Amino acid sequence: MIGRLNHIAIAVPDLDAASAQYRDMLGADVGAPQDEPDHGVRVVFVTLPNTKVELLHPLGDASPIAGFLQKNPAGGIHHICYEVDDIRDARDRLLDKGARVLGDGEPKIGAHGKPVLFVHPKDFNGCLVELEQV
């Protein structure tokens, strides 16, 4: 069902500093910040030859990333994103197997402009999983 690894998301307390670290220390291709108000985050994508790293920063106090950073002030890995061909089929298969899809279960448009869903971390070894339709 899952395809390739799309990205690994890291919550960061300072988006500019994290972007500079990837660009200046690691020589990575770092994109421009973009606000994703539907998800409560500001993101920067770091493009690698085989995947991406998504740097996440809260967009307001109600952001789920704000809560994550309160528990993890230095930041940390927030989620991993896998590609799927059909997001609704993937959702239905997961629900049939007992996994919990977060939110209302309907896909939202993610930072890449494609439908996404999140699956509860308790159902995947403590890792929040995002599925993105390709």
CATH number of the domain to which 32 belongs? 3.10.180.10
Nearest to 26, CA basis, from 49, 57, 6, 56: 49
Residue 103 has what pLDDT? Answer: 94
Q: What percent of the chain has pLDDT above 70?
A: 100
Q: Give the catalytic positions in this structure.
A: 130
Q: What is the pLDDT of residues 87-104, one digit of tens each?
A: 999 999 999 999 999 999
Q: Provide the number of structural domains found in the chain.
A: 1
Q: Please enumerate in sequence order all residues whose Cβ is within 8 A of that of 15, keeping only pairs 6 or more positions apart, or say none.
A: 33, 42, 44, 55, 57
DSSP letters, 13-39, are S-HHHHHHIIIIIT--EE---EEETTT
Domain region containing 34 = 2-133
pTM of the model: 0.94
